[in-house]
Amino acid sequence: AQSVTQLGSHVSVSEGALVLLRCNYSSSVPPYLFWYVQYPNQGLQLLLKYTTGATLVKGINGFEAEFKKSETSFHLTKPSAHMSDAAEYFCAVSDYFNKFYFGSGTKLNVKP
């Protein structure tokens, strides 16, 4: 069975600081991993995904994530936070039939 754990329901960083959002997964099969972002009253927008191949995945808006099988982790990072990055971020793992298992989300606050 698949599951996702996101450590930290709220993360606060200063503008220009490193963003690190943590995600650990559990999967009985090779995982497909995703990070989505959600702005208030909006749907989910894909930031990046890992399926196969290179373990360091680059996404939109300067975000990237590294798949570490030995640690069952897929942490999201961005070198320098911007005010517009303030949103809720969801890590997810999917199975073959497009069933996504989402983490509980991490709200990112960016302080000026």
DSSP state for residue 31 in the 8-state scheme:
-
Region binding other proteins by CB under 8 A among candidate stretches 14-22, 45-53, 65-73, 76-84? 45-53
CA of 27: how far to CAs of 5, 8, 16, 95, 101, in Å?
12, 21, 34, 9, 10
CB closer to other proteins, 10 vs 111: 10
Determine phi and psi for 85, rounding to 5 degrees: -80, -10
Per-residue mark of binding to other proteins, 47-76 (x: CB under 8 A) = --x-xx------------------------
The angle subtended at Cα 21 by Cα 50 and Cα 7, nearest 5°, is 105
Q: Which stretch binds other proteins (CB under 8 A): 19-27, 43-51, 60-68, 75-83?
A: 43-51
Which stretch in 11-19, 33-41, 64-72, 75-83 sits in contact with other proteins by CB under 8 A? 33-41
Assess 1 for contact with other proteins (CB under 8 A): no
How far CA 63 is from CA of 21, 74, 90, in Å, comes to 11, 12, 13
The residue ranges that bind other proteins (CB under 8 A) are 32, 34, 36, 41-46, 49, 51-52, 90, 94-105
